[in-house]
Protein backbone atom coordinates (compact mmCIF):
# COMPACT_ATOMS: atom_id res chain seq x y z
CA UNK A 1 0.00 0.00 0.00
CA UNK A 2 2.91 2.33 0.70
CA UNK A 3 4.22 1.78 -2.83
CA UNK A 4 0.77 2.59 -4.21
CA UNK A 5 0.65 5.88 -2.29
CA UNK A 6 4.10 6.78 -3.59
CA UNK A 7 3.05 6.02 -7.15
CA UNK A 8 -0.13 8.07 -6.76
CA UNK A 9 1.87 11.02 -5.43
CA UNK A 10 4.34 10.81 -8.33
CA UNK A 11 1.51 10.68 -10.90
CA UNK A 12 -0.20 13.66 -9.26
CA UNK A 13 2.98 15.73 -9.17
CA UNK A 14 3.88 14.90 -12.77
CA UNK A 15 0.39 15.86 -13.93
CA UNK A 16 0.61 19.21 -12.14
CA UNK A 17 4.08 20.01 -13.50
CA UNK A 18 2.84 21.33 -16.88
CA UNK A 19 0.63 23.83 -15.07
CA UNK A 20 3.69 25.61 -13.65
CA UNK A 21 4.27 27.35 -17.00
CA UNK A 22 0.64 28.30 -17.56
CA UNK A 23 0.36 31.61 -15.70
CA UNK A 24 -1.20 33.30 -18.73
CA UNK A 25 -4.11 30.84 -18.84
CA UNK A 26 -7.24 32.33 -17.36
CA UNK A 27 -10.74 30.96 -16.91
CA UNK A 28 -13.26 32.21 -19.47
CA UNK A 29 -16.18 33.04 -17.16
CA UNK A 30 -18.13 34.77 -19.94
CA UNK A 31 -18.53 31.46 -21.82
CA UNK A 32 -19.02 29.53 -18.62
CA UNK A 33 -22.04 31.46 -17.36
CA UNK A 34 -23.84 32.26 -20.62
CA UNK A 35 -27.55 31.41 -20.44
CA UNK A 36 -27.85 29.81 -23.91
CA UNK A 37 -27.02 26.22 -24.81
CA UNK A 38 -25.42 25.40 -28.16
CA UNK A 39 -25.59 22.17 -30.15
CA UNK A 40 -21.92 21.46 -29.33
CA UNK A 41 -22.77 21.53 -25.62
CA UNK A 42 -25.66 19.11 -26.09
CA UNK A 43 -23.35 16.71 -27.92
CA UNK A 44 -20.75 17.24 -25.20
CA UNK A 45 -23.24 16.40 -22.46
CA UNK A 46 -24.30 13.21 -24.26
CA UNK A 47 -20.71 12.12 -24.98
CA UNK A 48 -19.67 12.86 -21.41
CA UNK A 49 -22.49 10.77 -20.01
CA UNK A 50 -21.06 7.57 -21.49
CA UNK A 51 -17.40 8.16 -20.73
CA UNK A 52 -18.04 9.42 -17.21
CA UNK A 53 -19.99 6.41 -16.08
CA UNK A 54 -17.66 3.84 -17.70
CA UNK A 55 -16.01 3.18 -14.31
CA UNK A 56 -19.33 3.05 -12.43
CA UNK A 57 -20.03 -0.70 -13.02
CA UNK A 58 -16.70 -1.58 -11.35
CA UNK A 59 -17.65 0.47 -8.29
CA UNK A 60 -21.08 -1.17 -8.10
CA UNK A 61 -19.61 -4.66 -8.50
CA UNK A 62 -17.09 -4.03 -5.73
CA UNK A 63 -19.81 -2.71 -3.41
CA UNK A 64 -22.06 -5.70 -4.14
CA UNK A 65 -19.22 -8.20 -3.57
CA UNK A 66 -17.95 -6.29 -0.54
CA UNK A 67 -14.50 -7.23 -1.74
CA UNK A 68 -11.56 -5.61 -3.47
CA UNK A 69 -11.02 -8.73 -5.56
CA UNK A 70 -10.25 -7.97 -9.20
CA UNK A 71 -9.95 -4.23 -8.69
CA UNK A 72 -6.91 -2.12 -9.50
CA UNK A 73 -6.84 1.18 -7.59
CA UNK A 74 -4.08 2.57 -9.82
CA UNK A 75 -6.53 2.92 -12.69
CA UNK A 76 -8.91 5.01 -10.59
CA UNK A 77 -6.07 7.11 -9.21
CA UNK A 78 -4.54 7.80 -12.60
CA UNK A 79 -7.91 8.53 -14.21
CA UNK A 80 -8.92 10.80 -11.33
CA UNK A 81 -5.66 12.72 -11.51
CA UNK A 82 -5.98 13.42 -15.20
CA UNK A 83 -9.68 14.20 -14.91
CA UNK A 84 -8.71 17.03 -12.54
CA UNK A 85 -6.68 18.41 -15.45
CA UNK A 86 -9.71 18.00 -17.72
CA UNK A 87 -11.74 20.07 -15.25
CA UNK A 88 -9.11 22.80 -15.39
CA UNK A 89 -9.11 22.59 -19.19
CA UNK A 90 -12.89 22.87 -19.21
CA UNK A 91 -12.65 26.01 -17.08
CA UNK A 92 -10.07 27.48 -19.45
CA UNK A 93 -12.18 26.95 -22.55
CA UNK A 94 -15.49 27.62 -20.80
CA UNK A 95 -16.96 24.19 -21.59
CA UNK A 96 -19.74 23.25 -19.20
CA UNK A 97 -19.96 19.61 -20.39
CA UNK A 98 -16.22 19.03 -19.88
CA UNK A 99 -16.39 20.51 -16.39
CA UNK A 100 -19.59 18.76 -15.28
CA UNK A 101 -18.76 15.26 -16.46
CA UNK A 102 -15.20 15.33 -15.21
CA UNK A 103 -16.27 16.53 -11.75
CA UNK A 104 -18.67 13.57 -11.60
CA UNK A 105 -15.97 11.21 -12.91
CA UNK A 106 -13.49 12.42 -10.27
CA UNK A 107 -16.10 11.70 -7.59
CA UNK A 108 -16.74 8.20 -8.97
CA UNK A 109 -13.01 7.46 -9.09
CA UNK A 110 -12.56 8.86 -5.57
CA UNK A 111 -15.35 6.56 -4.34
CA UNK A 112 -13.84 3.58 -6.17
CA UNK A 113 -10.38 4.10 -4.66
CA UNK A 114 -11.92 4.78 -1.23
CA UNK A 115 -14.06 1.63 -1.40
CA UNK A 116 -11.02 -0.36 -2.52
CA UNK A 117 -9.00 0.91 0.46
CA UNK A 118 -11.89 0.13 2.83
CA UNK A 119 -12.33 -3.42 1.56
CA UNK A 120 -8.58 -4.13 1.53
CA UNK A 121 -8.38 -3.00 5.16
CA UNK A 122 -11.41 -5.14 6.09
CA UNK A 123 -9.96 -8.16 4.26
CA UNK A 124 -6.62 -7.80 6.08
CA UNK A 125 -8.38 -7.52 9.44
CA UNK A 126 -10.46 -10.61 8.65
CA UNK A 127 -7.34 -12.54 7.59
CA UNK A 128 -5.56 -11.46 10.78
CA UNK A 129 -8.39 -12.83 12.94
CA UNK A 130 -8.19 -16.29 11.35
Q: Could you report the per-residue pLDDT of 24-64, keeping only the tens digit for each?
A: 666 666 666 677 777 877 887 787 777 777 778 888 888 89
pTM of the model: 0.64
Domain that holds residue 92: 2-129
How many independent structural domains does the chain possess?
1
pLDDT at residue 76, rounded to an integer: 77
Backbone angles phi, psi at 42, to 5 degrees: -65, -45
Query: Residue 16 pLDDT > 80, yes or no?
Result: no
Q: Could you report the per-residue pLDDT of 69-111, keeping only the tens digit for each?
A: 877 778 877 888 888 888 888 888 888 888 888 999 888 888 8
106 contacts 83 by C-beta, under 8 angstroms: yes
pLDDT at residue 11, rounded to an integer: 64
Amino acid sequence: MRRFRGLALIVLLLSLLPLAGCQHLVIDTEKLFKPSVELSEIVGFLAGLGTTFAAFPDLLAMLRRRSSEGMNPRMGTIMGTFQVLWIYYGLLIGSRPVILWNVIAVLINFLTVGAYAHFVRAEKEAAGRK
